């Protein structure tokens, strides 16, 4: 549960920063409740995706890396430390956009 709270805080800060940047830098006009819905649904979906990615990582993390050089070892180490959580968060963000368009009817996200 402690790991889920950590993902929740990180995803909330990411979604809040995306919302603030979009509010002040683009032509997207969702209104107050649209942005609140984006922040809440984005946080929820990205947190669930990142948590599932973290659970997947705990099952499939390799014990040893077989590499051909220092840079290959560096890339593999970086991927296996944040890769599955990032991919899960990205899938969660895509689910959030689908939720905003298909369920809530905000067509500005297309």
pLDDT at residue 19 in the model: 92
Phi, then psi, of 52 in degrees rounded to 5: -65, -40
Prediction pTM value = 0.84
d(CA 50, CA 10): 10
Asked if residue 62 has pLDDT above 90, the reply is no
Widest distance between CA atoms in the chain: 53
Counting the structural domains of the chain, the total is 1
Buried b (16+ CB within 10 A) or exposed e, 36-59: ebbbebbbbbbbbbbbbbbeebee
Percent of the chain scored above 90 by pLDDT?
50
* Domain housing 15: 2-109
Residue 87 token pair: 């991919």
What are the pLDDT digits (tens) for 10-58?
999 999 999 999 888 877 778 889 899 999 999 999 999 999 999 998 8
Asked if residue 66 has pLDDT above 90, the reply is no
Q: Band of the pLDDT at 109, cuts 50, 70, 90?
A: low
């Amino acid at each position: 549960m402690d790991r889920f709270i950590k993902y929740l805080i990180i995803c909330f800060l990411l979604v809040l920063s995306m919302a603030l940047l979009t509010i002040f830098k683009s032509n997207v006009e969702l209104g107050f409740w649209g942005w609140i819905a984006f922040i809440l649904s984005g946080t929820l979906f990205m947190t669930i995706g990142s948590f599932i990615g973290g659970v997947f990582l705990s099952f499939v993390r390799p014990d040893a890396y077989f590499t051909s050089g220092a840079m290959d070892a560096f890339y593999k180490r970086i991927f296996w430390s944040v890769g599955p959580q990032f991919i899960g968060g990205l899938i969660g963000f895509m689910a959030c956009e689908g939720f905003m368009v298909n369920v809530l009817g905000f067509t500005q996200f297309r």
